[in-house]
Structure 1
Amino acid sequence: MARPRRSAATLVSLVVAVVLLVAGFGWLWSKITGSGPTLMPPSEQCVVTVGEVSDELTLEQASNASVIVAEGLRRGLPARAASIALATALQESNLRNIDYGDRDSVGLFQQRPSQGWGTVHQIMDPWYSSGKFYEHLVQVNGWQAGDINDVAQKVQRSGVPDGYRKHVEVSRAWASALTGHSPAAVRCIDRGGDSPDTKRATAIVQRAFNGSVKASQGQAQITLNSSDPTKLWAATQLVLSTTETTGVTAVSVGDRTLHLSATELAQWSAASAGTKKPTEATITLRA
């Protein structure tokens, strides 16, 4: 019985030796030629960082999150409402506007036409489905202070009643950033694709803030003005999160600026001294 064990040990030793030899040759070759491993650039994404919490969404997900939060702002609801809505959509559809689901469920919140949520066409409109969610949310007794998972379950009546809990922390971070309570919290990687949509960029601001944030449209640039810095940051980060279709390349809010990169997550930095007003933001789009 000892001989098979020695054979197995010998085989393992040979495999390890070959692996080390190949690795050593690769290292030596990289030193001789100056070449190294080719690293793939990170995927297109938007990332939020609030305190110790950081979360990554695809550009599609981030755009949907922007609409969900914007509809809550339009209705005058607090950031908590957006946190509940985002946790719900993350669980129900992974923040994707899908046209299928359990039984006749569709959309971001997997709402069912047969249960009175609207027609399929209506529910597939993210603005409509977000609005219907908020309509039901505010009817839940104690939603302003109750456990977010439990409040979401009272709206959705899901077969997985505890499923929203795992999304609460990141949903709070996104809600805080997109409602302007956490400035300079969103960064994106966008390699460009569709032609920029200046009208959509201004429309989300106009719809969310009903004139309390002024949006003026120029050639490949939008200027936002508001005396409320929280609203100004909210409007800017809402538009930034729609970069998949709006084509954002740079944003400046007051004395902070961000230039998007196609290969890495750029950092927010200080704008040139004396060039920015605290009540103004500029958003530059692909030309």
Structure 2
Amino acid sequence: MASDPSRRRSTGFVPVLLLVVLFLAAVTVYAVSVLREPEDKRPEPAACTATADGTAYHLTPARTSTAALISGISVRRGMPARAASIAVATAIQESGLRNLDYGDDAGPDSRGLFQQRPSQGWGSEEQVMQPVYAANAFYDALEKVPNYADLPLTVAAQTVQRSAFPDAYADHEAEAKAFASALTGHSPAALTCTLAPPSSSGSPEAVLAAMTTVYGPVEATVEGDRITVAGSGTYGWSLAQWAVANAEALSLDSVAFDELRWTRATGSWDPAPAPDNAVVLTVHRAAEQS
């Protein structure tokens, strides 16, 4: 007797369906086990937080490092914290605090943190792709805006940028102000970062090179994995919170200033002895392999 073709097809379908059911069941069990894991045992994603007026704003460590560069350059230039707020808000809107090597709505040749256009006189493509150059170019233009510190942020930013979306900068004002205020030193201990353990050793020389690129020459001493940088007041807090913002990239374990210390282990500023008028950085040293 001839066999029924439909019955032959169905015998292969049942095992496949069973495998799908078992796979979904396994995924469900795994998801439930993760959700039931105590929160204090779950790994936290790396993130940096700036707090202002009781509100916390979050950025990735890489984007916080960029905000720290922009803010630190304003400190070096002796500009008010408002300038850093305007610049950080602009960079958030234009590039998401990323050094983009392509253009968007600003124009086909726009590049970098501020999407500056070489065709509009901002410099060469190579120059605007250098974050320090780009930030200084933005501040050069901002300083030419009369009473920029007293203008609404979006007006000051738009006067510099001449964007097709002039009102968009205002969307980032609160976030930019929180990060800029901390990173210029006007809001002490307002910036923290939650980071995983370092994957490699840091270098005091690399830390000081990065710091001087932003702030210019600093007075510093190095003893082993400890760097002591002269600084007080808002300038000291700018240096300290710049270091926290760059702790991921530079493999820093701790930053101490003004009787407070941020540590990678806690991710917070806690009371701790610290030298007067100095920022103390501890560079991570990986255990030597025997």
User: Does TM, scored on the shorter chain, surpass 0.5?
Assistant: yes
Partner of 2:283 in structure 1? 285
Structure 2 residue 227 is the aligned partner of structure 1 residue 230 = no
Residue ranges of structure 2 left out of the alignment (5+ in a row): 1-24, 286-290
When residues 62 and 200 of structure 1 are mapped into structure 2, their CA distance, relative to the original with a 3 A threshold, is farther
Structure 1 gap segments, 5+ residues each: 1-21
Task: State the partner residue of 2:66.
Answer: 64
What are the residue-to-residue correspondences of 1:44-123 with 2, within 5 Å?
44-102=46-104, 103-123=108-128
Q: In 1, are the aligned partners of 2:76 and 2:215 still within 8 Å (CA)?
A: yes
TM-score (norm 2): 0.79
For 1:69 and 1:246, the matched residues in 2 are separated by 18
- 1:124 and 1:57, CA in 2 relative to 1: closer, same or farther beyond 3 A? same
Q: Which deviates more, 155-164 or 244-253?
A: 244-253
For the 8 Å contact 2:89–2:172, the answer to whether it is kept is yes
Report whether the alignment pairs 1:198 with 2:204: yes
RMSD of equivalent CA atoms: 2.4
Cα pair 1:106 1:120 within 8 Å, conserved: yes
| SS in structure 2 of the partner of residue 164 of structure 1 | helix
Contact 2:195 2:267 in 1 (8 A): no
Aligned to 2:170: 165
Measured in 1, the distance between the counterparts of 2:170 and 2:206 equals: 33
Identity %: 37
Which deviates more, 236-245 or 78-87? 236-245
Contact 1:93/1:107, CA 8 A, preserved across alignment: yes
Given the alignment, which residue of 235, 238, 257 partners 1:253?
257
Deviating more after overlay: 179-188 vs 36-45:
36-45
Spell out, residue by residue over 1:2-53, the C-alpha distance to the aligned partner (whole angstroms, 9 max, x if none).
Answer: xxxxxxxxxxxxxxxxxxxx9xxx8xx98xxxx9337652211211112223
Q: CA deviation at 1:189?
A: 2.1
Distance 2:63 2:205 in 1: 20
Quote the residue 1:7 is aligned against.
none
Q: CA deviation at 1:221?
A: 2.1
SS at match of 1:158: coil
Q: Could you tell me which amino acid in structure 1 is paired with residue 37 of structure 2?
A: P
Q: Decide whether the 8 Å contact of 1:79 with 1:176 is kept in 2.
A: yes
Query: Which position in structure 2 is the counterpart of 1:36?
Result: 36
**TM-score of the two chains, using structure 1 as the length reference:** 0.80
* Helix, strand or coil at the partner of 1:184: coil
**Cα displacement string for residues 118-141 of structure 1 (whole angstroms, at most 9, x for unaligned residues):** 112111111000000000001112
Are 2:69 and 2:132, in contact at CA under 8 Å, matched by a contact in 1?
yes
How far apart, in 2, do the equivalents of 1:56 and 1:199 lie?
29
